[in-house]
Amino acid sequence: MIEKIKIGSLVKILYPKYVFDFHGIVEAPEDITGRWIIRLINNPFGNNREPLLLSLNESEIKLISVYSGLKKHWG
């Protein structure tokens, strides 16, 4: 069974290079572009507590775990 990306899923960032290998949570789809809004679990820019959101194509992320709606919480 091929699992599809859903809101709340855990993903690994493949591109862009400055966040390669970081993990993020899928926050929302972009209806017009077909891209996904990803919130990084750890901000790569020092001690900044603000979340870093990225707009990425599906080819730029790798699905790690699909959010099942249970009491599992990432980040």
CA distances to 2, 4, 46, 48 from 58, rounded to whole Å, are: 14, 10, 27, 26
Domain tally, the chain: 1
Hunting for tokens 């709606």 — which residue is that?
Answer: 69
pLDDT band for 66, please (50, 70, 90 cuts): confident
Q: How far apart are CA 45 and CA 64, in angstroms?
A: 23
Does a structural domain hold residue 7?
Answer: yes
Which domain CATH number covers 17? Answer: 2.30.30
Domain that holds residue 34: 1-46+59-68
Give tens-digit pLDDT for 12-57. 999 999 999 999 999 999 999 999 999 999 888 777 778 899 999 9
Does a structural domain hold residue 54?
Answer: no
